[in-house]
């Protein structure tokens, strides 16, 4: 079971799809020294998932300005990802993991009973420590803006009150 404040589950050698590139291998170690938002979505060729994937793509530069990479995952194959992204999501440039073994979804405790991933979002710090996570019902899309807000709050090193925004008053050191 993944827990806040503990080392994020490792993964490596996972085939991924990234627009404009051949299939590549990625690992958690590839992101050492920078922040990572790892998010899981249920299935390719669905209704809510592309809205989230597009929103992450739209705000990718904001994540990059925070020294943060984006990595998505589902239990669909790299070929499914390739077909769907080339057809419907050409603006998504960040990698999409093909968790066909379901090991990654299981490690992050988002594997659903039907073999798909639940809607889970994880923020991992540059040292590989899990700092934030949200797992929600598949029927409700996540807020990418809330993910960025939470990332910035974590990076501030401060105690950040409800609805805190960058530049807002904090409550002191965390």
Of residues 168 and 117, more confidently modeled: 117
163 in any annotated domain: no
d(CA 161, CA 45): 38
Q: What is 62-116 written as a DSSP string?
A: HHHHTTEEEEEEESS-HHHHHHHHHHH-TT--S-EEE-TT-HHHHHTT-B-TTSS
pTM above 0.75, yes or no: yes
5 in any annotated domain: no
Give the total number of structural domains in the chain: 1
For position 33, which CATH number holds? Answer: 3.40.30.10
90 in any annotated domain: yes
Residues with a catalytic annotation lie at 49
151 in any annotated domain: no
56 in any annotated domain: yes
For the stretch 16-48, pLDDT in tens is: 777 667 788 889 999 999 999 999 999 999 999
Q: What is the pLDDT of residue 19?
A: 67
Specify the residue for token string 């592309």: 50
Domain that residue 59 falls in? 14-142
150 in any annotated domain: no
174 in any annotated domain: no
70 in any annotated domain: yes
For the stretch 68-123, pLDDT in tens is: 999 999 999 988 988 888 889 888 989 999 999 999 999 999 999 999 999 999 99
């Amino acid at each position: 079971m993944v827990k806040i404040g503990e080392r994020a589950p490792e993964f490596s050698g996972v085939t991924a799809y990234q627009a404009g590139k051949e299939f590549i291998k990625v690992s958690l170690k590839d992101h050492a020294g920078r922040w990572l938002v790892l998010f899981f979505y249920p299935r390719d060729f669905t209704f809510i998932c592309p809205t989230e994937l597009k929103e992450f793509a739209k705000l990718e530069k904001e994540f990059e300005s925070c020294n943060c990479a984006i990595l998505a995952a589902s239990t669909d194959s790299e070929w499914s990802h390739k077909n769907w992204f080339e057809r419907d999501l050409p603006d998504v440039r960040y990698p999409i993991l093909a968790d066909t073994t379901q090991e990654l979804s299981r490690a992050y405790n988002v594997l659903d009973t039907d073999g798909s991933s639940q809607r889970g979002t994880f923020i991992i710090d540059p040292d590989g420590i899990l700092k934030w996570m949200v797992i929600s019902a598949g029927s409700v899309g996540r807020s990418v803006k809330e993910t960025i807000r939470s990332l910035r709050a974590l990076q501030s090193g401060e105690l950040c009150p409800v609805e805190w925004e960058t530049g807002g008053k904090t409550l002191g050191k965390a």
